[in-house]
Structure 1
Amino acid sequence: MDNVRIDKWLWAARFFKTRSLAADAVEAGKVKLDGERIKPARAVRVGDKLHIDNGADAWEVEVLGISDKRGGAPVARLLYQESAASVARRAAEHERRKLFHEPGADIKGRPTKRDRRQLGHFRDE
């Protein structure tokens, strides 16, 4: 198998939870191939260099394998290799988030009454 759509590969490599989320990210320009925007139907090839931003993290990876089936995380990890600069950048961002925790980062969706009180408490300090 050497002809797989980029959105299907991103889903199989576990960068996105669903294929439609992967396709939407590619359409929005969150996934770039050698710095260029691409379409979801573009075929991915071994050796392609991708910049992937899924909202929470950003990766710079090189494609090592092609798959259209989603497997476990250890299998998906064999499909790509992350660059050393990307690993360092993500580690620094993780440290920054750990040291300077944003109060609203844990809130998913609409805040509850308790969440609003806590946010107000942080604002008043």
Structure 2
Amino acid sequence: MAGPGGKSGPLQARLRLDKWLWQARFFKTRDLASEVVTEGHLRLNGQHCRKPGHGIGPGDVLTFAQGETIRVIKVLDLGQRRGPASEAETLYLDLDPRDDGASHLE
């Protein structure tokens, strides 16, 4: 049975988890993204992941806290760089879109 980032194809492209979170603009720095992962505040495909260098690819689902909001994100693309926000938004699908921008935590 494959682990959290189990490969579904023979040579599927992968990118470090912390780098992808930074490129997709969920965190200001890779260090912050890495900290969230190592402290156990992120799930990859429903399983805890504490390795910032874990490879992720399209189709993986990430669940993590961002401020007071719980984000559920499906990876659509890996991207090549940390570009503008409009470019970063093409890398993922928000599986729990907020209607009014309010926090889901109370």
TM over 0.5: yes
The DSSP-based 3-state class of the residue aligned with 1:74 is helix
Larger radius of gyration: 1
* Total equivalences in the alignment: 93
CA RMSD of aligned residues (A): 2.4
* Structure (1 or 2) with the greater helix fraction: 1
What 5-or-longer segments of structure 2 have no aligned partner? Answer: 1-11
1:58 paired with 2:66, answer no
Please point out which of 89, 94, 100 is paired with 1:77: 89
How high is the sequence identity, in percent, across the aligned residues? 37
Flag as ranges the 4+ runs of structure 1 deviating above 6 A: none
- Aligned equivalent of 1:26, options 33, 37, 40: 37
3-state SS of the aligned residue for 2:63? strand
Q: Check the 8 A contact 1:47/1:64 in 2, yes or no.
A: yes
> 2:4 corresponds to which residue?
none
Residues 1:7 and 2:18 are matched in the alignment? yes
Normalising by structure 2, what TM-score? 0.77
Match of 1:121 in 2: none
Aligned counterparts of 2:67 and 2:37: Cα–Cα separation in 1: 12
Q: Contact conserved, 2:59 with 2:75, CA < 8 A, in 1?
A: yes
Distance 2:104 2:72 in 1: 20
Post-superposition CA distance 1:8-48 (Å, at most 9, x none): 00000000000000000001122211221111010011000
Contact 2:68–2:104 (8 Å) recurs in 1: no
SS of 1:78's partner is helix
CA distance in 2, matches of 1:73, 1:7: 17
Q: Secondary structure of 1:58's match?
A: strand
